[in-house]
Amino acid sequence: MATDSQNNNLQQTVEEQTTLHRSSPSKTSMIHDSTSLDAKDHIEYLYTGTAFNLSTSKLVTLNRPTCLIILAGPVESGKTTLIINVYNSFQKGPFADSIFAGSLTLSEFERCSHDSRIASYREYSTTERTKVQDDYRFFHLCLRDKKPRSKKRDFLFTDLSGEVFEAIKNSEEECKRHKLLLRADHFVLTLDGNKIADPLSRGQGVNDGLMLLRQCLDSKMLGPQTLVDIVFTKWDIIKAKSRTDDKLIKFINEVQDNKFRPFLSERIERYRFARVAAEPDPRLRSELKPGYGVPKLFRRWINEAPKSRIIKPKIDVKEKIERQIDRYHL
């Protein structure tokens, strides 16, 4: 048990440290205390490098024109792997006629890329599955053309779990809750090539994607001006399976021509199909190289822009308005 003299010494030490802390603020506390800075000093905001959420993404969208690319699809359909492959491609130099000009989510890119690196000590390259979260997640890329003095352009890529899109597919109310869809420049629907290669699950794999797209259009969360890409992922698995299943490629062509085209031609001004293998499985001994089909798809995202976006929904006049200035938009 501590003696009275020890307790008194401890109390005195605490008081001295507290006094020292108050009289000599650290550099960190001075950065956040605007009153301690001269008017001529300039405050630099340091980014953590983690994924943006809906709030922090405004640090980019409110300052510069930003292209939003929504990667949508079922669980483990290759959404995150696709954008991670794009990031890794820029590690080697210019990619898809563009040059890497920065990112405010570098730490998140590196974290998600870890399992595809040698440093992970994994036998095969893989990508960590995106967990279900309450808020949106975004990757950020800043790019510019190869041409000298070309302007920088900002891009945001969603990183949402497949469960989110499963809920959107099954509920119009849930679909309308995701107002982010109204802001989409590109809507990228990923169809899991692993499911499509299996005769027992290929029908469900296609119908899930078709129903998700139909729900977004019927709910008017996507419009005619939205640029839509239907992407068959894991094409290395499909190619390997087609060696023994001669009807597989024919099935995919029929899906494009008989299911998606008639449905989309009446509702979307521009839609395209793509076949990619971002990270081919080496166990399949596929002739496809990593990033197969990705450069062509990525060029669409950076070179094409919608003519307009869906007009933001009107604010309900019954909604509580806290500031008088907000009344001017009614």
Per-residue pLDDT tens over the stretch 44-71: 666 788 889 988 898 899 888 999 999 9
Fold classified for 58-303: Rossmann fold (3.40.50)
Cα torsion angle, 263, 265, 269, 272, sign: positive
| SS3 state at 232 | strand
- The whole-number pLDDT of residue 111 equals 87
- The whole-number pLDDT of residue 143 equals 95
> Could you report the average pLDDT of every consecutive run of 10 residues in the chain (330 residues)?
48 42 39 46 71 89 92 92 93 93 92 66 62 82 88 94 92 93 95 94 94 95 93 95 92 95 91 94 88 95 78 44 46
User: For residues 133 and 54, is the Cβ–Cβ distance under 8 A?
Assistant: no
Q: Give the orientation angle of helix 79-90 with respect to helix 294-303, to 10 degrees.
A: 90
Query: Per residue in 132-160, pLDDT tens?
Result: 676 799 999 999 998 888 889 999 999 99
- The whole-number pLDDT of residue 59 equals 86
User: For residues 170 and 208, is the Cβ–Cβ distance under 8 A?
Assistant: no
Residue 301 amino acid letter: W
- With 0-12 CB in 10 A as exposed, 13-18 as middle and 19+ as buried, what is 13? exposed
- With 0-12 CB in 10 A as exposed, 13-18 as middle and 19+ as buried, what is 28? exposed
Phi, psi (deg, nearest 5) at residue 19: -65, -40
Structure-block tokens of residue 13: 């030490």
User: For residues 72 and 212, is the Cβ–Cβ distance under 8 A?
Assistant: yes
- The whole-number pLDDT of residue 26 equals 41
Q: Where are the alpha helices (DSSP H) in the chain?
A: 4-23, 27-32, 58-61, 79-90, 106-113, 162-170, 172-177, 193-197, 202-218, 235-242, 248-254, 261-265, 294-303
- The whole-number pLDDT of residue 44 equals 63
| SS3 state at 187 | strand
Q: Give the orientation angle of helix 106-113 with respect to helix 79-90, to 10 degrees.
A: 110
Domains of the chain, by residue range, sit at 58-303
